[in-house]
Amino acid sequence: MTEVTVTDVTATVTSWPVDLSTVPAGVTRLEIRADLVGDLDPAPLRLAFAGRLQYTLRSRAHGGRCADPPEVRRARLAWAALGYDTVDLEADHDLRPEVLAAVPAARRRVSWHGPSAALTELRERFAAMAAVPAAGYLLAPRAASAADALVPLRLLAGLGRADVTAYGTGALGVWSRLLAPWLGAPAVAGPLDRSRSTGALDVARICADYPFAALPPLRDLYGLAGPVALASSFLGLHNHAYRERGIPALYLPFHLTGIGDFLTGFWPAVPDGLRALGMPLRGLTVSGPLKEVALHVADVVSPVARAAGAANALTRRGGRWRAATTDSSAVAAALRWVGVPLAGRPAAVVGCGGAGRAAAVALRYVGADVTMVNRRETRGRLAADLLGLPFTPLDAFRPTGPCVVVHATSVHTRLPFPVEGLSAGAAVVDLVCPPSGVSALVAEARGRGLRTVDGRRVMAVEAAHQFRLMTGRPMPPEPTIREVVTHAGLDSP
């Protein structure tokens, strides 16, 4: 596709007071949610912010908090038109002669927020909205599934206009908000306050992780599917690497809470729909709890993924989806960094999910004497039986001597198991990535002089392995990668 330029990167102010010096570089518009923060005088705002100002008085019918009587609402909109560059007018009830007389066409944005809608309904809604001259239009149906978010993108593709923004709202639709500019949407927006970014990426993440405002050409799509998608630093890692390598691709967050979201709302509707839009999805990182189901939707499964009973990567080649796991190779690389011989050495993997099972496969491959450890005994024994390995319940696990321990659960604020029995020559590999700093396990192990590899180290190499698997090219050098790891989630894919 040809290069496009996004007109606006919008930071939405949802709480007040706020320090406007925190507005990220690259933001060109400030949206004041007056239904949340009141009617802010635009004059002092202009002293603190050099971009354009938008006034939005979201009604309860449109998912906001404004419940003003009609005459009060009309007065507030008319007041806003005196000082703001853009005033949002809701299509359902604001397009009255007295409001249109007070808000010039060049300052209007006509919007509609509502439930998920079919393409024919969105087309009809837009036709009615477009009858009112405005600088821009917004259609934002709620995405009850990932597939629902395809509908507004299909609308954009069919309209071929540069004054219409459309995307699915809610966490399941975030990916469509980010992709919409490549289909002609003139703006992308996110909350300025991270605490209000539920169901959306905050604007700092948008500016840091995505190539706005001047969009590069786009040929292929990749993404992360799972409940950690919106928090993962994989977004920034991959998108920065695409830009540095000159690859016309985009990496998107497909927030899916579980197997139901994946099978009934995402697969295969979203990959098929994106291909129909001329934006084929070429690869997916898959996080827990979707690693097992990834095996079942694939046409081809790698031997390591089959042995682990889980896959964290799906790639499309020659019309076929291939399942693989990079958990094993990432752990193997981490163990090489540790620098201890593994053949015949006692080793334990704490956590029997997809990442833990893949780690066990890697350890067994190099000849370690592996034991599986898990809090829930039934699940742990099933995983151990799948791999043909012994099992120990977590509450009975007391590692001793020069053992190698790989930790693959989400626990990070406390010790998941005691480490005082480990001796010189022992090593701890932690796959968890706390929001900041290191986990309690890594801190304790380092304090005792044990060899450690933290989750960010593992995640950086995992991202590099997935990047090569998906694109066929190496990721930029690791120092560049590690500088980008600033928004790590609590789970590695």
386-402, pLDDT tens digit by residue?
A: 999 999 999 999 999 99
Mean pLDDT of the residues in the chain: 91
Provide the 10 A C-beta neighbour count for residue 444: 18
pTM of the shown model = 0.90
* Strand-pair partners of 215: 4
Q: What pLDDT score was predicted for residue 481?
A: 44
Q: What pLDDT score was predicted for residue 303?
A: 92
Q: How far is 141 from 62, CA to CA, in rounded Å?
A: 10
Between 6 and 311, the more confident residue is: 311
Letter string b/e over residues 45-83, b meaning 16 or more CB atoms within 10 A of that residue's CB: beeebebbbbbbbbbeebebebeeeeeebbebbeebbeb
> Going by C-beta distance under 8 Å and a sequence separation of 6 or more, which residues neighbour residue 303?
none
Give the rounded percent of residues in the chain with a pLDDT score beyond 90: 79
Mean pLDDT of 113-123: 97
Q: What pLDDT score was predicted for residue 156?
A: 98
Q: What pLDDT score was predicted for residue 399?
A: 96
Name the band, by pLDDT with cuts 50, 70 and 90, for residue 7.
low
**In this structure, which CATH number among 1.10.230.10, 3.90.1520.10, 3.30.420.10, 3.40.50.720 belongs to the domain 328-453?**
3.40.50.720
Structure tokens at 174: 């975030």
Query: Which residue spans of the chain are classified as CATH 3.40.50.720?
Result: 328-453
Q: How far is 180 from 178, CA to CA, in rounded Å?
A: 6
Q: Which uninterrupted H or E stretch holds 458?
A: helix 455-471
Name the band, by pLDDT with cuts 50, 70 and 90, for residue 487.
very low
Q: What pLDDT score was predicted for residue 470?
A: 95
Does 148 qualify as catalytic in the annotation? no
Give the domain 4-217 fold: TIM Barrel (3.20.20)
Query: Which residue spans of the chain are classified as CATH 3.20.20.70?
Result: 4-217
Q: How far is 10 from 201, CA to CA, in rounded Å?
A: 12
SS3 363: helix
Phi first, then psi: give them for residue 253, nearest 5 degrees: -95, 110
Mean pLDDT of 6-24: 90
The order of strands in the sheet holding 451-453 is 391-393, 369-374, 346-350, 404-407, 427-430, 451-453
Structure tokens at 399: 């590692």
As a residue count, the chain comes to 493
Mean pLDDT of 229-250: 92
- Give, in order, the Cα–Cα distances in Å from 4 to each of 182, 187, 245, 321: 7, 11, 20, 31
276-300, pLDDT tens digit by residue?
A: 999 999 999 999 899 999 999 999 9
Q: Say if residue 215's pLDDT is above 90.
A: no
Q: How far is 467 from 132, CA to CA, in rounded Å?
A: 46
Pick the catalytic residue: 142, 205, 240, 291? 291
Amino acid at 12: T
